[in-house]
Amino acid sequence: MLIVMSNHASKEELDNVMAAIEAHGWQAKPIPGGERTAIGILRNTGPVDPAIFLGMPGVRDAIPVSKPYKLVSREMKKENTLIPLGNGSVVIGGDKLILAAGPCAVESERQAIEIARAVQKAGAVLFRAGAFKPRTSPYAFQGLGEKGLQILAHVREETGLFVVSEATDHEVCDLVEEYADIIQIGTRNMQNYRLLKRAGQARKPVLLKRGMSATIDEFFMAAEYIMSEGNDQVILCERGIRTFATHSRNTLDLNAVPYIQKESHLPVFIDPSHAAGRRDQVIPLARAGAAVGAAGLLIEVHSCPEKAMSDGPQSLLPADFERLVAELRYMNFKI
C-alpha cells in the first residue's frame, strides 16, 4: 500500500501516518518524489485496509500496490532513480549513456592501468574489473582478491575513473564495499539472499546482474531484497539468459529493457559481453542496447585478449571499444 499525502500536509500529519503504520507492526518507508510526498507500507503479510488511513488528516489517497515487489516498482515511485557518483560528476540514469568498461578480471597493476587509460580516453567513466571471480571451474583463475581491489583503488587515484567490482559472497562484501565505488552482484548470485541483504546494508550503489535463468519478476524481487535493507541505489543489468541457442553464449533479452523501465524506476544497463560470449557479436549488441534505451553499457575490454586470465574470447580490443564509442556518438548518444 502507498499512502499519498496531500501537497500541504504538515510534518506532524506525516509523522502521525508513519506512527499509525508502525503501530500495526508494519514498516513505514517515506518515498521522496518531485510532486508528492508518499509513504510506502512494507512488511505487511496480508492485505492492508485503506480505510485505516483514508480518514487521517493530510492523507490524500491510499493506493494498493499490486506487485510483490514494492520499493522497486513504479507504483511506489514514479520518477526515475538517479545514482550520482562521487560529487555528482557522473550520474547513472540521467541523460548520458554511461560506459563501464574494463577487463573481466584484474590481473596486474600494469594491465589494469593500461586498459583503464585506454577506455577512459575513448569515453568510459567507469572501470569494471573483478578481483574475486566466480569461475565455473575451481581450477581456473579465481582473481587477485584484496590485492586486486587495491589495484582498482590505485586506478581510481590515477585516472579519476569510478570502479565497479564483484562481491562474490557475503564475507568479501566488506572488502569490496571498502574499495569499490559500485558493488557488483553477479548472475550466479542473483538469488543469494544473504549477500543481497548484506549489499542492502552497504553505503555504495549496487549493480545487480540478472540471473541467467531468472524471470524479470525474480530479478525485481532480488532488487527488492537490497532495497528493503535501506539501499535505494540499485542498477539492474541484463547480461543474457540461457536459451537453446548455440550461436552465442547466452541470449541478450532486449525486451527486458522496456519492460523494466515500465515496471520500475531503477536504471538498467546492458552487458553485451557476457550475453555474446564472443567478440564478433559484442559491438552490434552494444549498439542495440543503447538503441533500446539502456542507461549504460558494461563492456569487457582487454589489451591482449588472447592472454586474458578470463573471458578473453569476448573481450574487445581497446581500438574496437574506441570504434564502438565513435559509432554511439554518431548515433547521437550523449556520452
What residue ranges bind Mn ion (CB under 5 A)?
A: 104, 311
Candidate residues 187, 192, 228, 281; the one interacting with ligand PEP per rule CB under 6 A: 187
Query: What's the CA gap between 177 and 156, in Å, rounded?
Result: 14
Query: What's the CA gap between 247 and 159, in Å, rounded?
Result: 37
CB of 167 vs ligand PEP, minimal distance in Å: 11
- Number of chain residues interacting with ligand PEP (CB under 6 A): 8
The site map against ligand PEP for 192-211 (x = CB under 6 A) is -----------------x--
**Three-state DSSP class for residue 202:** coil
**Three-state DSSP class for residue 285:** helix
Report which residue's Cβ sits closest to Mn ion. Answer: 104
CB of 184 vs ligand PEP, minimal distance in Å: 6
Name the residue nearer to Mn ion (CB basis): 77 or 274. Answer: 274
CB of 61 vs ligand PEP, minimal distance in Å: 40
Report which residue's Cβ sits closest to ligand PEP. Answer: 186
209 touches, from Mn ion, ligand PEP, none (C-beta below 5 to 8 Å by class)? ligand PEP
Q: How far is CA 295 from CA 7, 84, 108, 269, in A?
A: 31, 13, 30, 5
Query: What's the CA gap between 36 and 75, in Å, rounded?
Result: 13
Q: How far is CA 64 from CA 36, 39, 75, 258, 306, in A?
A: 17, 12, 9, 24, 54
CB of 10 vs Mn ion, minimal distance in Å: 52
CB of 185 vs ligand PEP, minimal distance in Å: 8
Q: Please give the backbone phi and psi of residue 195, each rounded to the nearest 5 degrees, phi first.
A: -65, -40
Query: What's the CA gap between 206 and 153, in Å, rounded?
Result: 17
Query: What's the CA gap between 59 and 97, in Å, rounded?
Result: 39
Q: Is residue 143 at the binding interface for ligand PEP, with CB under 6 A as the rule?
A: no
302 touches, from Mn ion, ligand PEP, none (C-beta below 5 to 8 Å by class)? none
Binding site for ligand PEP (CB under 6 A): 104, 130, 134, 186-187, 209, 239, 274
